[in-house]
Chain A
Amino acid sequence: MIDVLYFAWVRERIGLPKERVETSAATVAELVEDLKAREERYAVAFADLSALRVALDQELAEFDAPLAGVREVAFFPPMTGG
């Protein structure tokens, strides 16, 4: 089981901030494919990965990063702090 978090418009499109996901995905990209296959709202949120960022256990990562040992995955748009 892995905790998957969504922020900003990703959270709004998917309709929830956090969920626990049972997955055998080896990489972030595979997890994204699993999620997209679930429901249209996921497919819409993940339609353009270039518009998204991912963090693994609260560290920025790439979409080809492995998920082994990861407890928390977060998806969000590019950050706009400051």
Chain B
Amino acid sequence: MAVRVQAAPFDFGTECGAFAAGRTDAGAVVTFAGIVRDDGGLARLELEHYPGMTERALERIAAEATQRWALKDCLVIHRHGPMRPGETIMMVATAAPHRADAFAAAEFLMDYLKSRAPFWKKEFGTDGAAWVAAKDEDEAALDRWTGD
């Protein structure tokens, strides 16, 4: 299990390759990348975070995923600082003996890190700058993991 919080860009393909390489214990690897999306007029995105709490929150979420599903490994990389449209913001990767666990754990990681890891996005566009508002559906997405 590894969590990395960094300003520097990373190469999604290289990370996926390294994560999957040499495994004999996991028949399934699932990966997800979050990309800076431009819905029109976005010049850049800035991600603020809470150093210290960010790492703790991500490590806790990753540990919970590892406990809930039969994961052999998981990886979370999340960037902060300025980014342009098309850049990779973050990724998760999960490795499990079978795909159902790998998919479910990856979705769980994404749902939790969207609204429980202390990151805040600010968009800078042609008509000024604005903080991205949290979506109700992101909060609602957590309910399916807490229903038991």
Give A contacts to B, CB under 8 Å.
Answer: 5, 7-9, 11, 55, 58-60, 74, 76-82
Contact = CB atoms under 8 A, between A and B. Distances in A.
Interface stretch (B6-14, B19-27, B45-53, B63-71): B45-53
Interface in B38-64: 47-50, 52-53, 56
Majority secondary structure of chain B interface residues (helix, strand, loop or mixed): mixed
A79 B47 CA distance: 11
19 contacts: A7-B50, A8-B48, A55-B53, A58-B52, A58-B53, A58-B56, A59-B56, A60-B116, A74-B50, A74-B118, A80-B131, A80-B134, A81-B47, A81-B113, A81-B114, A81-B119, A81-B121, A82-B89, A82-B119
A58 B50 contact: yes
A45 B133 CA distance: 16
Given A55-B53, A81-B113, A76 B120 contact: yes
Sorting the interface of chain B by its residue count into under 10, 10 to 19, 20 to 34 or 35 or more gives 20 to 34
A36 to B, nearest CB: 21
Nearest to A74: B50
B83 interface: no
B110 interface: yes
A82 B134 contact: no
A8 B53 CA distance: 15
B60 to A, nearest CB: 9
